[in-house]
Amino acid sequence: MTIAKRIMHILPDANTKRITGMKATLFTTILFLLISLPGYSTIRYVKAGNPTPSYPYTTWATASDSIQKVVDICLSGDTDTYW
């Protein structure tokens, strides 16, 4: 067997490279989507005695005066901050 035939036998063909590239792109895309999922949570604030609570309680100026109000509207993944 000549050296050229040995090298051609070892190297993958163009179709193999394309499939490998597609798999890498798909893997990277799925990984990116899974990592970015927790980024969709909403931070809600509660401050006892706040004179101007306003739904959806997403800033300190509009913070809820009751923890229960915030718990009732929270979705899975939301973060509550209690002060």
Q: Same domain, yes or no, for 59 and 73? A: yes
* pLDDT average, residue stretch 47-74: 90
The domain containing residue 50 runs over which residues?
A: 41-82
DSSP state letter for 61: T
Q: Same domain, yes or no, for 31 and 49? A: no
The reported pTM is 0.49
pLDDT tens digits, one per residue of 8-47: 556 566 555 556 778 888 999 998 888 876 656 788 889 9
Q: Same domain, yes or no, for 68 and 54? A: yes
**pLDDT above 90 as % of the chain:** 16
∠7-22-27 over CA atoms, to 5°?
A: 120
Q: Same domain, yes or no, for 77 and 63? A: yes
Question: How many domains does the chain fold into?
Answer: 2
Select from 43, 46, 81 the least CA-distant residue to 67.
Answer: 46
Task: Classify 59 in phi/psi space as left (phi over 0), alpha (psi -120 to 50) or beta.
Answer: beta
